[in-house]
């Protein structure tokens, strides 16, 4: 199952190399709640430092789409639920 959700974010920091964005829920039970912080790295763009700082200026609001893939993980008969390991959650941002 793939779940896509839209959130908003406000740029709290940008030194030209990376920006930090605080995300905020905009719908459902997450509406108006602070969610997670994400980092945007200039190296993932073709922007110069000034272009990156202009595109993601501090106090600018951005739209963010989060994609979450959920899969069941079948445990063996001898495996406890608590021993199932999940990978780290890495949200992605799109402008």
Please give the average per-residue pLDDT across 25-49, as a whole number.
Answer: 94
Cβ proximity of 4 and 49 under 8 Å? no
Q: How far is CA 23 from CA 34, 66, 75, 92, in A?
A: 6, 11, 34, 11
Task: Give 63's pLDDT tier (boundaries 50, 70, 90).
Answer: very high
Question: Based on the number of CB atoms within 10 Å of its own CB, is 57 exposed (0-12), middle (13-18) or buried (19 or more)?
Answer: exposed
Q: Residue 38's Cα: distance from chain center in Å?
A: 5
Mean pLDDT to the nearest integer, 88-95: 52
Walk across the sheet containing 61-69 and list its strands.
34-41, 18-25, 2-14, 61-69
**pLDDT, average across residues 72-85:** 60
What is d(CA 41, CA 43) in angstroms, rounded to the nearest whole number?
5
Going by pLDDT thresholds of 50, 70 and 90, the confidence category of residue 79 is: low
């Amino acid at each position: 199952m793939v779940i896509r959700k839209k959130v908003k974010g406000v740029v709290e920091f940008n030194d030209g190399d990376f920006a930090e964005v605080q995300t905020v829920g905009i719908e459902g039970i997450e509406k108006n709640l602070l969610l997670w912080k994400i980092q945007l790295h200039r190296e993932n763009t073709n922007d110069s430092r000034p272009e990156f700082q202009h595109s993601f200026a501090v106090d600018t609001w951005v739209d963010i789409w989060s994609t979450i893939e959920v899969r069941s993980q079948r445990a063996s008969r001898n495996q406890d639920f608590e021993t199932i390991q999940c990978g780290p959650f890495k949200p992605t941002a799109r402008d």
